[in-house]
Amino acid sequence: MLKLVASAYSRAELEESLRAVASLSRKLEKSKATLEAKAAIKPSSSQQTLLDRRIATLQVSESLIQDALDEASQR
pLDDT at 7: 74
Q: Are 2 and 68 in contact (CB under 8 A)?
A: yes
The whole-angstrom separation of Cα 50 and Cα 68 is 27
Could you give the CA distance from residue 73 to residue 18 in angstroms, rounded to a whole number?
15
The answer, yes or no, to whether residue 75 has pLDDT greater than 80, is no
Task: Tell me the per-residue pLDDT of 24-62, one tens digit each, with 9 for 90 and over.
Answer: 999 999 998 988 888 877 778 888 889 999 999 999 999
CA distance 11 to 67: 12
pLDDT score, position 48: 85
**pLDDT confidence of residue 20:** 98
Q: Which amino acid is at 63?
A: S
How far apart (Å, rounded) are the C-alpha atoms in residues 5 and 67? Answer: 10
pLDDT band at 3 (very low <50, low <70, confident <90, very high): low
| Domain assignments of the chain as residue spans, ordered by start | 2-73
